[in-house]
Amino acid sequence: MRILRPLEIRRATELHHDRGGLKSTLLHVMGIALVFVAIGMLLSGVIEVSSTNTDTGALLISGFITLALGVLLWWATRPGSARARDVFAAVGWTWIVITVLGALPYVLAGTFDTHGASFTEQIVNSIFESASGYSCTGSTALLDFDSPGRGLMMYRQATQWYGGMGIVVLAVAVLPFLGVGGLDLMTAEAPGPSSDRLTPRISETAKRLWATYAVLTIAVGVALFAVPGPSLYDGLAHGLSTASTGGFSPYGSSIGHYDSVLVEAVIIIGMVIGGMNFAHHWRALQGRFSGYANDPELRIYLMMLGVCTALVVGLLWIDGGLGFGAALRAGIFNVVALGTSTGFGNARGVMSDGNFVLWVPAAQMVLLFLMVVGACTGSTSGGIKVMRVQVLVGHSIRSVRHTQQPRAIIPVRHGSHAVSEDIVSRMAGFFVLYLLLVLSGIVILTGLGAGLLESIGAIVGSLGNMGPALGDAGPTASFSDAFSQPARLVISLFMIIGRLEIFPMMLMFAAPARALRERFG
């Protein structure tokens, strides 16, 4: 649901439609989403025609096709049921349709028509790139970063910006308004205080979250433009992917393209902020900073980044053969990039210090841990979230204590608040499903010919929306070289699952399954 503008969705579900039409929440919401995605394609087409003008036709044709389909669905349907399974069906299937149609500009532009690639391979790579963009993963199948036009590359950046804020808005705005009990349904993703509304009115909450998101995007873009190196185009492009913690860059060497400590510092600050709860950011813009100080998840998040940075820097300096300055620069950037699920790289070449696939195994294992955990709830980051880890660790400690004190009542706490047993149970169930998905994904990818290390990195990274993987799919490599076509489609699916979360993806199948049962008995 990251690609849907919350206010428009609310208005679409709130207004009474006198014009009639097919009653379908799924198709109606899908139409709204397609309209906004089409706007992004058309704006990118304007950038393209005013700059390189090589992929203008592909962007404009894709935009008008998507717009026509979106308007048709919008006006031919009206919202139906607001039950949980219907809303999640609308979210999930809309996401899949957007991913497929989002690949259209790449297909029409021939972006992946390189090295004698077949048309089938071009389709697969286009879907992979679209899924990676809208899920804010940042993995890429692109080999040639110089041929695509500037407008097409800006569209690629914009796909991540569309995707970045959606899960926040879905949790605190769309679902509660529809009467689904959205906060309860999303507690496995953002339980407790992190799912608070900013105002009693959901529409105002949505406005403030989107405003904060836009402010962060602009701030990063302006800061990058202000330091030597990036152009205005570069600042905007990287502002879109930093605020969304997506990780796409118009350049093959990502942030390493600039070879600038100042640029890396701006990006690091932006990534850290993007990994925090956006509700705190809004309150801070109003001069209220207590949310930062009182959030136990934020403290653990910052502590985790600090400890992991110290570990990686020490390992690179002592065992990796790097000087302290080089280890510090490479360690800080990559820890923050993967700890926030952004996935930017600062490697300036295959043999660069920033290419973490060349690091000592212990340092790579620290990065793998970060790829699993991710950042805070209420942020644009992926991963299983710091709060989940806190609660699950507390649950494990309680289980050990219960062996010594079987009759003791020991609550699991998140800061000073006791976590309800229902939330603890959901989180435990989520973690079990997560492990099963990881194991099944690794088995599938290795069965399709991928290496074990690459498969582990790709599945963990896809579910956490991290971007680069391990081995031959590291920060300086392309997934089109490391994985077969079927494997890339599997990874695309795992990226979507990771971004929408496991439980919503399960719920999205409930509505069509129930409809089939009711129809055919």
> Is 332 among the domain residues?
yes
Give, for all 521 residues of the chain, the pLDDT tens digit. Answer: 344 444 444 444 444 444 556 777 778 778 878 888 899 999 999 999 999 899 999 999 999 999 999 999 888 887 666 566 666 777 788 889 999 999 999 999 999 998 778 999 999 999 999 999 999 999 999 988 999 999 999 999 999 998 887 643 543 344 344 443 333 333 333 333 344 555 545 556 666 777 888 899 999 999 999 999 999 999 999 999 999 999 999 999 999 999 999 999 999 999 999 999 988 998 898 888 888 988 999 999 999 999 999 999 999 999 988 999 999 999 999 999 999 999 999 998 888 999 999 999 999 999 999 999 999 988 889 889 999 899 889 888 888 888 888 787 888 887 778 888 888 888 888 888 899 999 999 999 999 999 999 999 999 999 999 988 888 888 988 999 889 999 999 999 999 998 887 776 777 766 666 666 766 65
Look at residue 511 in the predicted model and tell me its pLDDT.
60
Domain assignment present for 500: no
Does 113 reside within a domain? Answer: yes
Structural domain includes residue 406: no
In a domain, 422, yes or no: no
Which helix (H) or strand (E) segment holds residue 23: the answer is: strand 22-23
Q: Are 75 and 32 in contact (CB under 8 A)?
A: no
pLDDT of residue 236: 96
Residue 201: what pLDDT?
53
Pairing state of beta strands 412-414 and 22-23?
A: unpaired
Angle at 382 between CA 379 and CA 388, to 5 degrees: 80
For the chain, the domain total comes to 1
Positive or negative, the CA dihedral 315, 316, 317, 319 is positive
Contact 20, 74 (CB under 8 A): no
385: left (phi over 0), alpha (psi -120 to 50) or beta: left
Tokens 């879109």 — which residue?
A: 240
Whether the CB-CB separation of 40 and 240 falls below 8 Å is answered with no
Distance CA 455, CA 450 (A): 6
State both tokens at 434: 């997560």
Residue 337: inside a domain: yes
Q: Judge whether 461 lies within some domain.
A: no
What is the span of the domain harbouring residue 165? 6-373
Q: Which of 309, 161, 308, 166 is nearest to 247 (CA)?
A: 161
Residue 89 forms part of a structural domain: yes
